[in-house]
Structure 1
Amino acid sequence: MCEENQTEVTEIHLLGFRGLYEYKSLLFIVLLLTYTLILAGNLLIILLVSTMDHLKTPMFIFLKHLSTADVLITTSVVPMMLHIILFEEGTFSLWGCILQLYFFGIFGFVQCFIIAVMSYDRYLAICHPLRYSSLMGPDLCLQLIIGSWSLVIVLLLSEFIFIVQFNFCGLNYIDHFFCDFGPTIKLATSDFISILTMEDFIISIFVLFFPFAFIILTYFCISFTILKTSSANSKRKAFSTCSSHLTTVCLYYGTLITVYMAPSDESSSEINKYRSLLYIVVSPLMNPIIYSLRNHEIKRAVRKVMSHVFTNESKR
């Protein structure tokens, strides 16, 4: 319960981009255009993989779920961000803020496991090519996807149950454009905040560090196998099949390290608000571009769709 001189918080005010509101029209247009491109690019990949038979392979099925997570994590933040830019402030109910925090965590962390699963798929394809079809069958592919989503949901559910029992009293504003974990927890007045912070740290280590370590291990094995190959053409082809995924790994973990490995003083907290745009906007925007430019199957599927569209138009 709140003390007598404190007011129970029922609404959270998001302050957004203070100091940039004189450029709000330009900022709004840029972010709206970027959000539109994110939706178009990722939904195109989801559509292509769902409808094109030659793309219904484990690698592209994993890519479809990565694109799904990209769409969801961006959609959980950007519409409210656009509202904040337009009206120079945004308001969430306390429950809405906590739910945004929970779902944002799910969509962000599940990407770590999907990217790790994709590296395992590349490992099997390059290191065990003759057994690839039997090892990475449809059942295992489905189990890895369901397991990734289920594990993250269950892990973060424990945090969610913890947070909803906290008291939020006094301050009701966050100097951010969404309900991130750190700024939101600072508003709580519970005695168990330190326990939750430690739990969040342990979960973050599990869902960030271990998948990353697994990815490094798989690529060490992949590199060792490729270097043992005598044919230069085979080496080039093997590296080419990994290039898109490796670029995605560097982009995703690079943005996370940029945001969360920086010092946590007051000035860096302000900077981190803008760094957060890297994994909320930049990474989901770049993933479809990376796979569209570097993957011949995606290019072929896009050309097939465009050819079909133009053919139907010419018949009218």
Structure 2
Amino acid sequence: MLRSNYTTVSEFILIGFSTFPKHLLPAFFLLFLLMYLFTLLGNLLIMATIWSERSLHTPMYLFLCALSISEVLYTFAIIPRMLADLLSTHRSISFTACASQMFFSFTFGFTHSFLLTVMGYDRFVAICHPLRYNMLMSPRGCTCLVAWSWAGGSVIGMLVTSVIFHLTFCGLNEVHHFLCHVPPLLKLACGNNVPSVALGVGLVCITALLGCLLLILLSYAFIVATILKIPSSEGRHKAFSTCASHLTVVIVHYGFASVIYLKPKGLYSQEGNTLMAITYTVLTPFLSPIIFSLRNKELKNAMKKTFFSKLYPSSI
């Protein structure tokens, strides 16, 4: 896949942070490092809690565990390299490493979107068809849904990476980003097929993301309609509380994504584009475990029982 390109470009230079004042870079490094460590700790805590607490061995928490795994892998594909570049003056990345970063970031990013869609379907079945829940969300069926989510993310990651890195790169090799992302790489490619490649990749990504969003919105349309039919306010609150954390993460995920991918071209400076991209690659994964931990009472109580009671037995 990469053979024909080594004759023209053997490495790229990531210049996403090159225009920022140098005295700010150590502060950025410390801030993003702390956020990254908190993201890892939060997701690992969620996974460990679900694994150790038998009462959480349900489809909803299986999907949440898979979501945490995809989030850990997604951030691992991007943030360590970004942190290293913040303190480095030579921000080069090899051709193969750039292709690998693109593949893993797209794979885990789209897996994340597919898993959010599956979690929306799980809430739809639980609230709208509770009597059929055990049949529709059987262990085998849940495993298949998770597997298909990972397979779908891998297919899109491989497809996008293969198409982009079959292009011919010539001339400049400076990528105006802090990671190997599609739009800045397309600007470095030469050949008559670049516009058609850009259109094809854009259609695949937008179709997948919007398809996931529409399915989630459709699920919640049925969920809201069902909840409104519940006679007691306590029942309505209890039903909606099981969806609150997932819905909040969906809003954050697609809200930041729309700011990044749907903004008009040329509206912001390079510094502005870099900071906006950070909101999606660093801030969104940082907020996700916080939302699930604070908004999900059952998970929060399980964390207290499993971990905090051992650390502070007198306070629990």
User: So what's the TM-score if we normalise by structure 2?
Assistant: 0.92
Partner in structure 2 of residue 197 of structure 1: 198
Q: Does 2:303 correspond to 1:302? A: yes
Distance in 1 between residues matched to 2:137 and 2:255, nearest whole Å? 28
Counterpart contact for 2:82–2:178, Cα < 8 Å: yes
Any idea what SS the aligned residue of 1:179 has?
coil
Note the alpha carbon deviations across 1:33-55, whole angstroms, 9 max, x for none.
Answer: 11110110011111212222111
State the distance in 1 between where 2:90 and 2:247 align.
38
CA contact (8 A) 1:16 1:81 kept: no
Conservation of the 8 A alpha-carbon contact between 1:124 and 1:132: yes
Report the equivalent of 2:72: 71
Q: Which amino acid aligns with 2:10?
A: T
Alignment of 1:41-52 (within 5 A): 41-52=42-53
In structure 2, C-alpha distance between the alignment counterparts of 1:77 and 1:14, rounded to whole Å: 12
Q: Distance in 1 between matches of 2:13 and 2:262?
A: 27
**Which residue of 2 is the match for residue 237 of structure 1?**
238
Matches within 5 A, 1:114-193: 114-193=115-194
The range that moved more, 16-25 or 175-184, is 16-25
Q: 1:211 Cα deviation (Å)?
A: 0.8
Report the Cα offset of residue 78 of structure 1: 1.0
Distance (Å, rounded) in 2 between the aligned partners of 1:99 and 1:258: 25
Residue pair 1:48, 1:301 contacting (<8 A) in 2 also: yes
User: Structure 1 110/41 Cα, relative in aligned 2: closer, same or farther at 3 Å?
Assistant: same
- Aligned partners of 1:95, 1:185: CA distance in 2, in Å? 16
Distance 1:52 1:112 in 2: 26
Instruction: State the distance in 1 between where 2:163 and 2:153 align.
Output: 16
Query: Deviation per CA, 1:205-247, whole angstroms, max 9, x where unpaired?
Result: 2210111001111101000001111111100101111110110
Query: C-alpha deviations, 1:277-313, integer Å up to 9, x for none?
Result: 11211111111111111112211221122223456xx
Q: CA deviation at 1:126?
A: 0.6
Task: Determine the C-alpha separation between the residues in 1 that align with 2:90 and 2:145.
Answer: 41
Deviations 1:237-281 (A, max 9, x none): 011111101101100000001111101127356522211111211
- For the 8 Å contact 1:162–1:196, the answer to whether it is kept is yes
2:82 matched residue in structure 1 = 81
Whole-angstrom CA distance in 2 between matches of 1:57 and 1:190: 51
Q: Which runs of 5+ in 2 are unaligned?
A: none
The worse-fitting range, judged by mean Cα deviation, of 249-258 and 190-199 is 190-199
String of CA shifts for 1:180-228, please: whole Å, max 9, x gaps: 1111122122332222212212211221011100111110100000111
The alignment's C-alpha RMSD in Å is 1.8
1:104 maps to 2:105 = yes
More divergent stretch after superposition (222-231 vs 149-158) = 149-158
CA separation in 1, counterparts of 2:269 and 2:215?
A: 30
**CA 1:20/1:60 → structure 2, altered by over 3 Å: closer, same or farther?**
farther
Q: Distance in 1 between matches of 2:48 and 2:22?
A: 37
TM-score (norm 1): 0.92
CA–CA separation in structure 2 for the residues paired with 1:162 and 1:25: 36
Q: Percent identity?
A: 38
Deviation for aligned residue 1:105: 0.9
Separation in structure 2 between the aligned mates of residue 156 and residue 192 of structure 1, nearest angstrom: 20
Kept in 2: contact 1:168–1:189 (CA 8 A)? yes
Aligned residues: 307
CA distance in 2, matches of 1:208, 1:33: 29
SS of the aligned residue for 2:190 comes to coil
Q: Which moved more, 1:184-193 or 1:124-133?
A: 184-193
Unpaired segments ≥5 residues, structure 1: 312-316
Conserved? CA contact 2:12–2:175, under 8 Å: yes
Please tell me whether the aligned partners of residues 34 and 285 of structure 1 are also in contact (alpha carbons under 8 angstroms): yes
Q: CA deviation at 1:152?
A: 2.1
Which residue is 2:8 aligned to?
8
Aligned to 2:27: 26
CA contact (8 A) 2:253 2:284 kept: yes
